[in-house]
């Protein structure tokens, strides 16, 4: 059955991969992000393939604008079947005592408060209809801290707790809640983390074949299309040579 799927942070990485996979699944998409031009390009790409797309340009940290845009959705877009809370970022890899408070604010406001904002705006209608699915993009980083990950790991631990809490809150309904926990995924994630230092970002993926955004998108679509009595509560997806957030077996470079 065709669904209406809202994906935050849909202009790149896992969010963009989810948009393409849900489009291939025949769903109609509400795509959000901060970059209006990039959203327009993605809309053009997907509509050319026959997908109905609505784009909303806002930062999930702006709860007021988010609420305004969701409240004024056209009638055909108001019944959101799947919410993919993907918008998130990591900034910096310094010891906690050397961290940048501005980076902390950005991660906390996006990864935690932005996710809560979208959940608060969308889930009440799911509960009223007794139907819907929330897919939160967490991380293996939410399972245990790694060196330099301090605040980012804390935000993803919060995503796990928030996701588990929501699942408990809606257990008396048919609304399903999923936490996707990717490991090492090669996107622009590391480039953002290192504030545009592409050389440093590239070293993150050296010596290992990482996951792609599409690998995670396939899991999201699978979870969303499981039988109605099946709730995929949590999925940890790692690259073959990654054992945890901090244990990665990298191939030795030849001298």
* Contact in structure between 144 and 246 (CB atoms under 8 Å): yes
Q: Which of 155, 60, 144 is nearest to 103 (CA)?
A: 155
Residue 253 confidence (pLDDT): 65
Residue 247 confidence (pLDDT): 93
Each residue of 231-250: pLDDT tens digit?
A: 999 999 999 999 999 999 99
* Residues counted in the chain: 255
Q: Which value, in Å, is the radius of gyration of the alpha carbons in the chain?
A: 18
Give me the catalytic one of 97, 146, 152, 205. 152
Each residue of 161-173: pLDDT tens digit?
A: 999 999 999 999 9
Half-sphere exposure at residue 135, Cβ-oriented, CA atoms within 13 angstroms: 31
Handedness of CA 118, 119, 125, 130 (dihedral sign): positive
* Contact in structure between 15 and 88 (CB atoms under 8 Å): no
The answer to whether residue 255 scores a pLDDT higher than 60 is: no
> Distance from CA of residue 120 to its chain's centroid?
16
The answer to whether residue 27 scores a pLDDT higher than 90 is: yes
Assess whether 152 carries a catalytic annotation.
Answer: yes
Helix (H, G, I), strand (E, B) or coil at 217: helix
Tokens of 100: 């940048």
Q: Which of 62, 65, 80 is nearest to 124 (CA)?
A: 80
Residue 189 confidence (pLDDT): 74
Each residue of 59-108: pLDDT tens digit?
A: 999 999 999 999 999 999 999 999 999 999 999 999 999 999 999 999 99
Helix (H, G, I), strand (E, B) or coil at 29: strand
Distance between CA atoms of residues 7 and 13, nearest Å: 12
Note the helical H segments in 60-197.
63-71, 101-107, 115-129, 150-169, 189-193
Q: How confident is the model at residue 198 (pLDDT cuts 50, 70, 90)?
A: confident
The answer to whether residue 191 scores a pLDDT higher than 80 is: no
Each residue of 202-219: pLDDT tens digit?
A: 788 889 999 999 999 999
């Amino acid at each position: 059955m065709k669904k209406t799927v809202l994906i935050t942070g849909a202009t790149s990485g896992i969010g963009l991969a989810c948009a393409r996979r849900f489009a291939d699944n025949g769903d109609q998409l509400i795509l959000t992000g901060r970059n209006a031009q990039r959203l327009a390009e993605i809309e053009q790409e997907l509509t050319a393939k026959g997908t109905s797309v609505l784009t909303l340009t806002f930062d999930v940290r702006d709860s007021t604008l988010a609420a305004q845009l969701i409240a004024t959705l056209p009638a055909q877009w108001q019944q959101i079947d799947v919410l993919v809370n993907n918008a998130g970022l990591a900034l910096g890899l310094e010891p906690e005592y050397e961290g940048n408070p501005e980076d902390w604010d950005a991660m906390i406001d996006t990864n935690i408060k932005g996710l809560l904002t979208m959940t608060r705006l969308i889930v009440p209608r799911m509960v009223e209809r007794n139907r819907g699915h929330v897919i939160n993009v967490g991380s293996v980083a939410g399972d245990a801290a790694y060196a330099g990950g301090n605040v980012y790991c804390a935000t993803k631990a919060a995503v796990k707790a928030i996701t588990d809490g929501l699942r408990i809150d809606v257990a008396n309904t048919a609304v399903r809640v999923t936490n996707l926990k990717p490991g090492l995924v090669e996107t622009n994630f590391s480039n953002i983390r290192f504030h545009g230092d592409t050389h440093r970002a590239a070293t993150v993926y050296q010596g290992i074949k990482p996951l792609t955004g599409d690998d995670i998108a396939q899991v999201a679509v699978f979870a969303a299309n499981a039988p109605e009595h099946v709730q995929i509560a949590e999925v940890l997806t790692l690259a073959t040579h990654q054992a945890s957030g901090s244990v990665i077996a990298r191939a030795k470079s030849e001298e």
